[in-house]
Structures are given as structure tokens and as C-alpha cells.
Structure 1
Amino acid sequence: MTDMWAAQLVAPSTFAHVRVPAPLVAALAPGEVLLRVRAGAICGSDMPLFKGAVQLRGGLGNHPDGAPPGPGCPMHEVVGDVVASRHPGFEPGVTVVGWALAQDAIAELCITEGDSLVPHDGRLPPAEAIVAQPLACAIYAVERMGDVCGRRVAVLGLGPIGMLFSHVLKTRGAHVVGVDRLNRTDTAPRFGVDEFVQAACDRWAASLGPDDRPEIVVEAIGHQVGTLTCAIEAAAVGGLVYYFGVPDDLVYPVPMHAFFRKDLTLKAGTTKDRPRVLRLAQEYLHDHPAILDAYVTDRLPMTSVQEAYDRAATPRAGQLKVVVEA
């Protein structure tokens, strides 16, 4: 193949279908694999680039500050077939799930690192198997929270990643409070939410009494600085605030007086040990198959990527994960 199909952003929130040179097998660096994309899913961290934001250095992908996104961007949740490999763990023909690290999976082919993939176990179709990638992120983050059994945990934002956090926390014995501006009454209980609050997180935080404050607050909204303040204001004395996701700003203001007086801990960070947590996620989906019907709500062909991103950018009650299939 000398060229391939890809979607490319040509203006904020606007894709064009283009033909571009296909990646060359000879271009693979040690440890890399070339994938034929079978399915991709839209993550909240894709939205700023889709809407025209400039990606900060050190974020997902390989886009220099100020450079427009290239073909296939922005999408990093991927299931694909290995076409060629310079990674010892993968041979051509194997189907894999994980990260497209250049965030360029809206295309026929993409190159990524083998250490961010695992073989697809074959128990689910690609459009459902892809859930292992965001689920791996949630599992890794919950591991970093320590023992959550019996603890009151609030999840701010019950979008796709917030629902996965809620389910993982519940299976580990937490009492889960979910907060979202959309009405998630029908869906939240299926993901283990014990108490659902339909409200903006600042109003919810201001309404809490001393006995209502969660010991752990997961900020799963992202893409705005104010919600971190909400999480800090809501947390109980001695609690933990977990900021999840890729930050969009270099500096986030912190209500330092409240943070100091409450003796809080703040954690954040990227998902590491990816093969291990991807395998855990595949087993988790095998053990809890019922969440898939509620989680993958929108499935479209890859060529309908504009519609897929438009849906993801305007969440509605009943909508969670938007997946595109080749």
C-alpha cells in the first residue's frame, strides 16, 4: 500500500477525508508495531484537539506546540491487526488493543509502541474489546488510591471514564457518589453508583455538611481548571483528591488554604505498566460483561468520524462511549 485513507482536522471541529502516504514498514523503530486499525473510541482527552486547542508539550501524541494535528488525529484508543513488528512480543496477524501513542488512529494504518499494547484475547468484537483501554486507565488509578473498601468516594463527572471509575470502585467495596449535570439516573446504578446527584459540582460541593464529605474525590470531568477546586472543596479532612486525565493548561489554581487546613493529598499522573493493566481490564470485562451493553452506546463506521465526534462533543443522557469501526 502506497497511500491510505485518513481523517484530518482542517478546522476546529471539522474533519476532511484525505489520502496520505501510508506508513512504511522500514520506518518502524525498535519496539514499534504497524497496525491496521479495526476500531477506535473517542476519549475526553481527544476533545480539546478536535475543538481546535493547541496541545501542550508532554501530552498524548507527538504534536509540537502550535502545530496542527496531522492525519488520523485525534484518537488513541485502538484495536488493530499487526501488519509488521519490531517488538519481540508481537508477530504479524495478531490482533491487539491499547494505545495509539501518536493519537493518529483515525486512519487505515498507524504506528505505535508495542509496550502500550496487549494481544486481544478474542472474547469480544473489536468495538467492545476497545473498552479495555479506558478501563485499564481506571483500574490503574484506583490501584493508586489504596484500599477503598468501606470508604465514601465521589466521582465528579459520569461520562464514559467516570462510569468506569464508579464500577471499579464499587467492585472494590467503596460507597460511590456520582455527580453530573446530566440526568444519569437510569445508567448510574448499572455502574455501581450508590447515590446519584444531578448538579454542577461547585453547587454540590457547597451543599455538603461535615458528615457528607467524601474521603476520596475523583475529578473525572477534566478540561477546565475550576473542577479541581470543586474536588478540593468537597473532600473530607485528611482525604484524597485524584485528578484524572491529561491537563489542558500549564497551571491550575489550587485553593491552597482549604487544601492546607484539610490536610489533603492530591494525586495525578499518566497510566503506567500498561500491558499489565490492559490484561487486567480484559479479565474485568470477561467477569463483568453486563457493563458493555450500557457502556458502548454509539457505534459508527470510521468514515462517519465527523458524526461520531459531533456526538461525543455534545453528550446527552443515555450516551456514553462513542466507537468507530473500520
Structure 2
Amino acid sequence: MTDAGPAPARPDRPGGAGMWAQRLVAPQQLEQVEVPAPREAALGPGEVLVALGAGGICGSDLPFFRGGLSPDAPADAREFGTPGFPMHEVAGTAVASRHPDIGVGDAVVGWAPRFDGLAELVVCDGDGLHAHDRRLPARTAVLLQPLACVLYAMEQVRPVAGRSVAVIGQGPIGLLFAHVAKAAGATRVVGVDRVDRSGTAAAFGVDDPVRAASDLWATSLTDAERPDLVVEAAGHQTATLTHAVQAVAPGGEVFYFGVPDELVYPLPMRLMLRKNLTLRCGVTWERRRVLARAEEYLGAHPELAECYVSHVFPADDAQSAYEHAAHPAPGQVKVVVAAS
């Protein structure tokens, strides 16, 4: 793991006073500002005020960083200048709570539902948070959020034990899919990415790292090589879903996990029909449950704590963190912004 320098200490400020936040002022340009902090009295039922310890940069944050908008963008985070935008994977300490199962002082991890997590204090929905073992540092605990998403997705597909699996996209999410599939008994796991991921493949259970565009990989397969399950973990384009359908074995499944940036996607329906395929997709429900399951999974696979977070940047250098995340490179997995 690369630590880009010490994180600034978080001042002990009561809710309602000023706080630091990063805000997007132009495409690919963040600046740190001082803004009013959320007030404890303004918390709604079930909400929790979290002092940020660390935040993970997700692939779904990057189109916002580049200046684009998703159809799913929060209504109150659609303009440059929104403090804390764009980040939703957060870990830290609950400093005020109106959720019955989360107390002040709890170490928590989960979702910043408004994508405004790049700030000193963040208002979160308590149903999207999990109080984890406080011995787990925030910069490690933040991995529980993407892991929870992967575990929930894998609950939706047929059991992979004894089956072959391929994952298109070997960024942080795609590597977690590979790890979970291998741990669940997949006979062979293929990871497909344009970036050379051979250096991280073994640690995440990838038997066959393929450096290629997904269309070239899909069209190169023999019938015997076609995987039973293909996970599309790249997103932000329409073509890779077609490549997954082309690659998967007859009677197989495709799980579309990648974030759609378009409202309508083309689908090779005749090929789907002739192959008798199942297509699944979806967001993560039951968030508190799967976050708890993610902590259990990490306990059973502690090696993830060592190999998942590859780069840590201090909060006042979030600009460099996002630039790194936006340019995948060999050996780079999860990029984290640490506030404490």
C-alpha cells in the first residue's frame, strides 16, 4: 500500500461550526473549502452524523469528477460546488445519531447517500451504515462497503461452486468479484482488463488474467472456454454488456454490475434467446446486513486488508487521489482518501 503522506488531524468541532470539505469547481478540479457543518438538531429520524475517517473512491464517482452526470445522480448534488461531492464510500465515527442501533462513538462504515462524503462531517442514513470492530482502522474498514455490494450481487446468482466465472473489468470491484467467486468454489476465474493486472491476480483468486479489450476476448473464446457466469464490472458504456452476452456459455448467466450512464442500453436479444441466458442486475439492498456480512468475510480472509487498499492520500490532497483513481495502472487497486 502506498501512503501519500500524513493526513491532517480533524479539528474537534461541534456540529453547526465550520468544517473542511472538498468541492468540485470544474471538471477534474477539486478545492478544499471551509463550509458550515451539519447541525445535530437537523438530523432526521434514522440519520447519523459521521466524522469522516476515510473514504474510498469508487468507479461510479469518477464520471462526476470528470464533469459528467448520471441519470441516478442525487438531485441535490447535480452542480459543481456541492461540498463533499463526489464520494459515497465512507468510514468514520458516529458523533451524533438518531438511529436506534448506532450510538455516539461507534466506528461505522457504509454509504453517504448524497455522494457528499468528501467532507469532515457527513450526514448518513443509519440503515446504510454498520458499526464495525473499532480495532479496524477507517482506511481499512472502508473496503467493507464495496465488498458488501459484491457479496449482495453474488447472492443473486446461482451458486458458483463447480462453475467457471469471468469478470470483465479488474478494477477494485472486479477484483473483489474474483475473490468472492473463488472463495465460493468457482473452478476457474478469468479476469479481463485492458490494464495489466497480472501482479494482483493471484491475491484475488484470478486463475487467468487476460489483458485485452473485452470484445477481442469474447470473440476469441472457443465453446469449451466459455464461462458459466460473466460479471460485467466495468460499466459507463454500453458495449461491454454485449461482450458479456457474447462470451458466456449457453444456459449461463450475466450479472451486469457496472453503472449505466445511459437510460437505454442495446441488448443482443436474439443471441440471449438462442443461448437461453439469464441476465441479472441491481443495486444493493439490505445494506446493514451485507455490511455485517462483509466484516465477517474480511475476518475469514484477512489478506484482503493487505492487498485491497493500494494508495492512501490525505484529505487535503484529494485532487491527487482522484487523478490516480481516474488513471488505472498495474498494481493499483483501491485509492482511499484519509481524513484521520
Instruction: Quickly name the TM-score band, shorter chain normalised.
Output: over 0.9
Could you report, residue by residue, the CA deviation over 1:272-321 in whole angstroms, capped at 9, with x for unpaired residues? 11111111111111111112222111011111100000000001000000
Higher mean alpha-carbon deviation, 202-211 vs 257-266, is at 257-266
Given that residues 162 and 220 in structure 1 are in contact (C-alpha distance below 8 angstroms), is that contact kept between their aligned partners in structure 2? yes
Unaligned runs of 5+ in 1: none
- Give the fraction of aligned pairs with identical amino acids, expressed as a percent: 54
Deviates more, 1:78-87 or 1:309-318: 78-87
- 2:193 is aligned with 1:180: yes
Report if aligned partners of 1:297, 1:322 keep a CA contact under 8 Å in 2. Answer: yes
CA distance in 2: counterparts of 1:60 and 1:237, whole angstroms: 36
Q: Is the 8 A contact 1:205 1:233 kept in 2?
A: yes
Q: Counterparts in 2 of 1:158-307, with a 5 A limit?
A: 158-174=170-186, 175-307=188-320
Is 2:92 the counterpart of 1:77? Answer: no
Note if 1:50 corresponds to 2:62.
no
Name the structure 1 match of 2:104. Answer: 92
Change (3 A) 1:69 1:115: farther
Question: What does the per-residue CA deviation read over 1:83-112, in whole Å, with 9 as the maximum and x for residues that have no partner?
Answer: 111111112111101111111111000101
Which residue among 151, 160, 170 is the counterpart of 1:148?
160
- Provide structure 2 residue ranges, at least 5 long, that are not aligned to the other structure: 1-13
Q: Report which stretch shifted further, 264-273 or 306-315.
A: 264-273
Q: Deviations over 1:205-225 (max 9, x none)?
A: 000111111111000011111
Superposition misfits of 4+ residues, deviation over 4 angstroms: none
Structure 2 equivalent of residue 314 of structure 1: 327
Given that residues 176 and 192 in structure 1 are in contact (C-alpha distance below 8 angstroms), is that contact kept between their aligned partners in structure 2? yes
Give how far 1:77 is off.
0.6
Q: Residue 45 of structure 1: SS of its match in structure 2?
A: coil
- Match for residue 135 of structure 2? 123
Task: State the distance in 1 between where 2:74 and 2:93 align.
Answer: 20
CA distance in 1, matches of 2:247, 2:70: 30
Counterpart of 2:24, as a letter, is L
> Is 1:106 aligned with 2:118?
yes
Q: Give the superposed CA RMSD.
A: 1.2
TM-score of the superposed pair, with normalisation by structure 2? 0.92
Asked if 1 retains the 8 angstrom alpha-carbon contact of 2:197 and 2:211, the reply is yes
Q: Is the 8 A contact 1:41 1:323 kept in 2?
A: yes
Displacement of 1:249 in angstroms is 0.9
Aligned equivalent of 2:11:
none
Give secondary structure in 1 for the equivalent of 2:124.
Answer: strand
Give the total of aligned pairs: 323
User: Higher relative contact order at CA 8 Å, sep ≥6: structure 1 or structure 2?
Assistant: 2
Quote the offset at 1:149 in angstroms.
0.3
Using the TM superposition, give the Cα deviation of residue 246 of structure 1 relative to its aligned residue in structure 2, in angstroms: 2.8
Q: Deviations over 1:28-60 (max 9, x none)?
A: 11111111111101000101111111231xx36
Q: Judging changes above 3 Å, is the alpha-carbon distance between structure 1 residues 251 and 268 closer, same or farther for their aligned structure 2 residues?
A: same
